[in-house]
Amino acid sequence: MQRKPVVVIMAAGMGSRYGGLKQIDPVGSQGEALLDYSLYDAWQAGFETAVIIIKKAIAKDFMELVAPRLEKSPLKIRYAYQELDHIPEGFQVPEGRTKPWGTTHAVLCAREAIGNNPFLVLNADDFYGRTAFAQAYQWLIQNDQPNSYCMVGYEVGHTVTESGGVTRGICEYDENGYLTRIVECKGIEKYEGGIRMPDSSGQWHDIPEKHPVSMNMWGFQPDFLDTIDAEFPVFLREEMPRDPAKAEFLLPTTVGLLVGAGRCSVKVLTTPDTWHGVTYAADKPKVVAALKALTDAGKYPDGLWK
């Protein structure tokens, strides 16, 4: 029997630049958060089960403010919890550390809820557009080979904000559309001459507006869970000591290392959709306006889960 793809939404991040719990901040006319729109688009694409990763510190607010609304959706909702102490035996949380272990760790924390199913993983605080979900779902149901994954790539010009710098995975791929390299870059910004990014020495470099970037929307086979379960102790042993308070086990870095070592293939699916997100508090009015325009145009109902 064919395994049904599961959509996994990461909502455990702290949102330090935004200044609040942007995972549950309302942006829709009926109080919907961005994750509601992702779940709606996932359902429209064919997904039937969703796993939402949160942390216990926001569980009470999430269950009171968001969960009752999601219960009205046609999706089967499961929850997983990302916590600092979810680490292998023999390791300890560094003294004073409060920052989550990162997006790869979030997926690992959801292993039981995902089960032996292919899955699409994405951020809770990003609006991806329906095309991305439709493409990813079709890829996941048509491809079931181990170590064969996919990523939805966006034009960088569709993913920047007027409010400040953003972090994106700068991608390169071959003539067949398979990822060859991905580098996580912080501080990408719009300026009067276009779009630019800083290098490790602080020098600025222009990026073409159509250059592909990752927005942390990945499609994985279930074997990926075994891989990251084995890689997490390596990260804790080799990478974490370099920055005990802030080192993160991140999906772009993890996938990039696997690709570089020839341990997996990643098909880059491209989308013309424009990203919307609340990286900064100043982004929210623009996101609200964009979603209202989409609703007025008939792309979404006024009230997703009536």
Q: What's the whole-number average pLDDT of the chain?
A: 92
- Quickly state the pLDDT bin for 16 (edges 50, 70, 90): very low
Does residue 33 fall inside a structural domain?
yes
pLDDT band at 273 (very low <50, low <70, confident <90, very high): confident
Tokens encoding 71: 């219960």
Q: How far apart are CA 271 and CA 261, in angstroms?
A: 27
In-domain check, residue 278: yes
Q: Is the pLDDT of residue 30 over 60?
A: yes
Segment 231-247 shows an average pLDDT of 96
Report the percent of the chain where pLDDT is more than 90. Answer: 75
Length of the chain: 306
| C-alpha–C-alpha distance, residues 97 and 53, integer Å | 20
117 has a pLDDT exceeding 60: yes
How many structural domains are present in the chain? 1
CATH label of the domain that carries residue 207: 3.90.550.10
pLDDT tier at 18, thresholds 50, 70, 90: very low
Q: Which amino acid is at 55?
A: K
282 pLDDT more than 90: no
185 domain residue, yes or no: yes
Could you tell me which residues are beta bridge partners of residue 10?
53, 123
Residue 169 lies in a domain: yes
Question: Among 2-16, 207-221, 290-304, which stretch is predicted with the lowest mean pLDDT?
Answer: 2-16
- Give me the pLDDT at residue 22, please: 63
pLDDT of residue 96 exceeding 80, the answer is yes
Closest CA to 280 of 163, 195, 125: 163
> Residue 108: is its pLDDT beyond 70?
yes
pLDDT band for 114, please (50, 70, 90 cuts). Answer: very high
Among 54-58, 166-170, 278-282, whose mean pLDDT is lowest? 278-282
Give residue 53's pLDDT. 96
| Contact indicator for 256, 181 with CB cutoff of 8 Å | yes
Residue 34 inside a domain? The answer is yes
The Cα 237–Cα 239 span in angstroms is 6
Q: Are 268 and 212 in contact (CB under 8 A)?
A: yes
CB distance 70 to 78 below 8 Å: no
Q: Which of 130, 148, 147 is nearest to 139 (CA)?
A: 148
Distance of CA 245 to the CA centre of its chain: 22
- Predicted confidence (pLDDT) at residue 94 exceeds the cutoff of 80: yes
Six token digits for residue 68: 């009752």
How confident is the model over 242-260, as pLDDT tens digits?
A: 999 999 999 999 999 999 9
Q: Per-residue pLDDT for 1 more than 60?
A: no
Is residue 193 in some structural domain? yes
Helix (H), strand (E), coil (C) string for the chain? CCCCCEEEEECCCCCCCCCCCCCCCCCCCCCCCHHHHHHHHHHHHCCCEEEEEECHHHHHHHHHHCHHHHCCCCCEEEEEECCCCCCCCCCCCCCCCCCCCCHHHHHHHCHHHHCCCCEEEEECCEECCHHHHHHHHHHHHHCCCCCEEEEEEEEHHHCCECCECEEEEEEEECCCCEEEEEEEEEEEEEECCEEEEECCCCCEEECCCCCEEEEEEEEECCHHHHHHHHHHHHHHHHHHHHCCCCCCCCHHHHHHHHHHCCCCEEEEEECCCCCEECCCHHHHHHHHHHHHHHHHCCCCCCCCCC
Alpha-carbon gap, residue 124 to 293, rounded angstroms: 21
Q: What is the pTM of this model?
A: 0.93
- Is 149 a domain residue? yes
Is the model's pLDDT at 20 over the cut of 70?
no
Is 301 inside any structural domain? no
Q: What is the mean pLDDT of residues 106-117?
A: 97
How many CB atoms are closer than 10 A to CB 164?
14
First to last CA, the chain: 33
Mean pLDDT throughout 97-102?
A: 92
Residue 162 is predicted with a pLDDT of 86
170: domain range? 6-296
Reply yes or no on whether the pLDDT at 155 is more than 80.
yes
* pLDDT value for 21: 63
- The reported pLDDT for the residue numbered 281 is 82
